[in-house]
Each structure stands twice: as structure tokens, then as C-alpha cells.
Amino acid sequence: MKNHICIFISCLLGAMLLAETCAASICDIKETAVFFGNGIKTAEKKAYDSRNIIKQRLKAELPPDEFDLLAFDVAYNGTHGLPLDLLESTVQILTGNTSRFWRFFWGLEIVPDWFADKFILLASALDRSALVTTDSLKGHVTTYKTKIAEGKKVLLVAHSQGNLFGNQAYSLLNSREQQSFGMVSVANVDNSVLGADSPYTTLHTDKVILALIAAQAALPTKPMTPNTENPENEAADSLGHCFIESYMADGSNSAVKITGDVIAELDTLATPPQIVDSGVITVSLTWGSEPDVDLHVYEPSGMQVSWKNFQGYSGVLDRDDRSGHGPEHYNVPSCDTLEQGIYHVALDYFKGDGPEVATVQIEAGLLTRTYEIPMPSEIYGSSNYPELIANIWVKGGENGGYDFEIYE
């Protein structure tokens, strides 16, 4: 069964990402990254609308000097249609301890027979290659680790299935990183918030949660009990489960509670030590169990930045990890050294005995892209000829700013 799961994971990796552009308003200093984590059947635009609602509510409640220290983004879990999303959630819940689900898939724990049999039963009618949750979670974890390494606190506002992803991501952070990571839970389909009895918001009229509680009466875990009441006429969706329409409805008790929980949680997070620098462009590399994978960046000037040459013309490799599994980290620290032209990002599988998967996250201006790169062996790249995986195109924008494009 374990071999079948490894094959399944291989099918999930290496999805192509479309190039996008974005103007740069990128030189402000932020102390905390606030993410929205979406639930099932959520289009990406809807996830960003939810992030904007959180941003608007905090702007109305916080003093301007405190609000200006917050950056807002989305930890997106792509939707695959309701049946696949529900299967994904069901498999996560079936473990009883959701973090074990990912330990099974990543080969960190032996798969028990009961889980293997149940998974085969659930997945038999569906195409396994359509499930990309492993990619999503690994991208989330890389994002959180990078932000914390840059000295930023991370707060996740998680809705529905987003709570499963938040709890799993938390379990994959080390103890120091966990002190700087918080989660505000909304419509939680899991049985805890970061493994503790923490504040959460679930409506008594949320039919999705009520149905899951009833359906899971015989299972080892079930969603947290509803604890918040809104006037019935405030619910704009028939299921009472939508983040914007039900939970963040104007003037609702749930919106007030969620906003208050976010503000309270911001005060509890520890400011992490800064290990790497943030910048207008950052590239972060992490990998699995093999000894060493190397990051190379070719700057527009032609300068190659790597373990051989840490300092480039516009950026620097400020972390080279030779004893762990990353992150390795490249950054262009300011607009003053940013070059127009194309930055090429490449990898070299420097040392190891078996197949490896690298996770590369690129931030350029307001764009973020994550790549999962399967590497069959050490023959993937070399010190002198690393394998190109992505390009960052920096162009002059309006009013003296910059536009960015990330593409393969």
C-alpha cells in the first residue's frame, strides 16, 4: 500500500502555473502576515474576497499604526469540485488525528491496514491524480516557515476545511516556529484548534457542521460544537456555512467575535528571530530527507548567486543549508538594488541517495508562486549547470514602480 501511495504522490507533483503580473507597492515593512485559509468548493477569487473582508474589518477596528504592520494573503487550497473536496476532507478526518494523514502520505509513519482499506474504498470511484492537497499543504508550510524565518508572525484565519490544513501545517512546524503561528478558527470541521482548546466560532445554524456532527457519531473525531448565535434573518446562504455571507455578515455576532479573536490572537504571538531577510524578491527552497539540494539564481546582470558566490549584484543568498532540509533563501533586499530584466531560478540535487522532491516558493512584488519539483536522483542538475525551474521578469511600471511576472 505504501508503494501505491508514493506513486499517488508522484502524480500530484509538478503542476504548471500560469504567469501573472502585478504592480509593486512593495517597500513597506510588515511585522505580521495574516492569511485566509479557505474551505471546500471555494474559487480562488472568493478566497481573496474573504481575505479582503478580514482586512476591511481589521482596518475599521485597529489603530492605523497597528494596522499598517499587517500584510494580508491567502493560503489557498484549490477546489476540485464538491465530490473530490468532500472525499479529501473525509480521508483527513478518518485518521482521528488529522496530522497523521500527512505523515502516512509522506512516508513518515507506517500506513495501518484500516486506513489503507478505508482509503481504497473511498477513492475507488475517483481519479486520485485529481487530488492535489499534498501540494497545497506543502506550499502552505513553506510559506509559513519562510515568513517566520524573515522575523514575521503568522496568523491564519481558517474556514471549514481550512482548519484541517491549518492544524496539519502547525504540526509540521518546529516548536520555535509554533510560538509565532496562530489560528483563528471559523466553522471548524476538525476537533481542535492547533491541538488545544482555543477560541473558535461555529454557528448554531451551520447545517454543514450539524450534518458532519451527526454523520460522525461513531467515528473517533467530530467537528467542534456550535457556539455562536446569529439572528436567523442574517444568514444569506441556505446552509449557513459561507464565510462572507453567514459568518462575516455586517453587524452579526459571529463577525464581531471573529474580528475580536483575530485582534486578541495577534497579541499572543511571539515575534520570531530573523534568520533571513525579506525583500522585493525572495526565493525559498526546502526539500525532504536527502542531505543537500542547492538553490541557484541568475540575476539580469548575468551574476550567478549560489553557495559558490553568496553576493550578487542585486541580491544575496543569505541562507545556505548543508545539514538540514532548508530553507535556502535568496532575496533582493530593496527597490534600490532591483534590476529590470529576468531572474532565472534553478536547482541542483547536490547530494543524496534516492528520489527527492523540492519545494520552491517565489515572491516577487505582490505575487507568490510555489513549485513542487520531483528530482529522480543526483543527476538532476549540477553545480555548473543547475536545472532551470522558473523565471521572474521585472519590468518598469507606472509612476516609477515595477511590474512582475513569474513563469516557467
pLDDT in tens, 333-349: 888 889 999 999 999 99
Which region among 293-297, 300-304, 374-378 has the lowest average model confidence (pLDDT)?
Answer: 374-378
Task: Give 361's DSSP letter.
Answer: E
Looking at every residue in the chain, the average pLDDT score rounds to 79
Rounded-to-integer distance, Cα 250 and Cα 257, Å? 12
Q: Which CATH architecture has domain 28-268?
A: 3-Layer(aba) Sandwich (3.40)
Q: What ranges in 62-129 are assigned the alpha helix state H?
A: 64-67, 82-94, 98-105, 113-123
Do residues 34 and 153 touch, judged by C-beta distance below 8 A? no
**Per-residue pLDDT at 14:** 31
Q: What is the pLDDT of residues 312-333, one digit of tens each?
A: 999 999 888 777 676 899 999 8
- Asked if the model's pLDDT at residue 25 lies above 50, the reply is no
pLDDT of residue 133: 47
- CA–CA gap between residue 93 and residue 104 (Å, rounded): 13
Report the C-alpha gap between 282 and 48 in whole angstroms. Answer: 22
Return the percentage of the chain with pLDDT > 90, whole number: 39
Looking up cell 503542476, which residue turns up?
A: 15
Once rounded to an integer, what is the mean pLDDT over residues 93-117? 53
The dihedral sign for the CA sequence 123, 76, 346, 340 = positive
**How far apart are the C-alpha atoms of 395 and 342, rounded to whole Å?**
9
The tens digit of pLDDT for each residue in 263-298 reads: 999 999 999 998 887 788 999 998 877 788 999 999
**Helix ranges, 95-156 (H):** 98-105, 113-123, 133-149
Identify which of 283, 273, 400 has the alpha carbon closest to the alpha carbon of residue 340: 400
> Does position 310 have pLDDT exceeding 60, yes or no?
yes
The 10s digit of each residue's pLDDT in 43-58 is 889 999 999 999 999 9
Q: What residues does each domain of the chain span?
A: 28-268, 281-407
For cell 539580469, what's the residue?
300
Position 7 scores a pLDDT of: 31
**Of 389 and 15, the one with more pLDDT:** 389
Rg of the chain's alpha carbons, rounded to an integer?
A: 21
pLDDT bucket at 305, cuts 50 / 70 / 90: very high
| DSSP annotation of 276 | S
Residue 266's nearest CA partner among 62, 76, 74 is 62
pLDDT reported for residue 182: 95
**Which pLDDT band holds residue 240 (cuts at 50, 70, 90)?**
confident
